[in-house]
């Protein structure tokens, strides 16, 4: 079984915040793969489904971001899971918008949701970091993170969420690198190649002269 966790703050006030992109990612996975309707569980909301034949539980902690670990720890203990069975989707300031990174373990890098989860279950869980970009100045970070995605952001955000949902079965199979690669390919399709060459000059001359114009009679 795999536990997929989306990080964010509960409530309509925060629904479109950059800080809630983890909620958005897991919600898109839930809808794409026809998980069960949400119900209150584990101090949050949970949906059940399958990914690549593997039982999956999608969890949206109902606590605020800095207490996310309470919900994750409760679900982990209930299902007798190990940290490697848990994948957390969350926002990352130090990644450019539209980029993702997948890793296991590591520090919190100032993210309160990650800090809380680590405090409850240790650090050896899997993470999908979703880039939201840095505003450039430390004093602008809070407003940036708790601000809504702009209309211009939708151009990269919607395709990225869709790509992560399509690639989600690879996460369930433990193919984290394959997941990251597929998301990259889906969001950066190869350009269509166009023919830019020209016909050889000799062939063009022969075509203009006609098939027998320059031939000798035998």
Q: Which residues are catalytic?
A: 19
> At CA 61, angle to CA 112 and CA 1, rounded to 5?
110
What is the spatial distance between Cα 69 and Cα 119, in angstroms, rounded to a whole number? 7
Residues paired with residue 155 on neighbouring β-strands, in sequence order:
none
| Cβ atoms of residues 35 and 168 within 8 Å | no
Are 128 and 25 in contact by the 8 Å Cβ rule? The answer is: yes
Integer Cα distance of 115 and 108 in angstroms: 5
Q: What tokens does 3 get?
A: 């536990």
Strand duo 54-61 + 86-92: pairing: unpaired
Q: What sign results for the dihedral spanned by CA atoms 68, 70, 73, 77? A: negative
């Amino acid at each position: 079984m795999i536990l997929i966790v989306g990080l964010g703050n509960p409530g309509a006030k925060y629904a479109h915040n950059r800080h809630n992109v983890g909620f958005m990612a897991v919600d898109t996975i839930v809808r794409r793969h026809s998980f069960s309707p949400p119900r209150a569980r584990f101090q949050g909301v949970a949906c059940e489904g399958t990914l690549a034949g593997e039982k999956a539980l999608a969890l949206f902690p109902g606590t605020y971001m800095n207490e996310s670990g309470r919900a994750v720890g409760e679900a982990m203990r209930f299902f007798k899971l190990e940290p490697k069975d848990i994948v957390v989707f969350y926002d990352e300031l130090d990644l450019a918008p539209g980029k993702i990174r997948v890793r296991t373990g590591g520090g919190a890098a100032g993210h309160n949701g990650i800090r809380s989860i680590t405090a409850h279950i240790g650090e050896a869980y899997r993470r999908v970091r979703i880039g939201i970009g840095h505003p450039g100045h430390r004093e602008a970070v809070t407003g940036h993170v708790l601000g809504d995605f702009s209309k211009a952001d939708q151009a990269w955000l919607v395709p990225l969420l869709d790509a992560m949902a399509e690639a989600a079965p690879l996460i369930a199979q433990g193919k984290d690198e394959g997941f990251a690669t597929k998301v990259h390919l889906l969001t950066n399709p190869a350009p269509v190649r166009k023919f830019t060459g020209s016909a050889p000059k000799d062939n063009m001359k022969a075509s203009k002269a006609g098939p027998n114009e320059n031939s000798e009679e035998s």
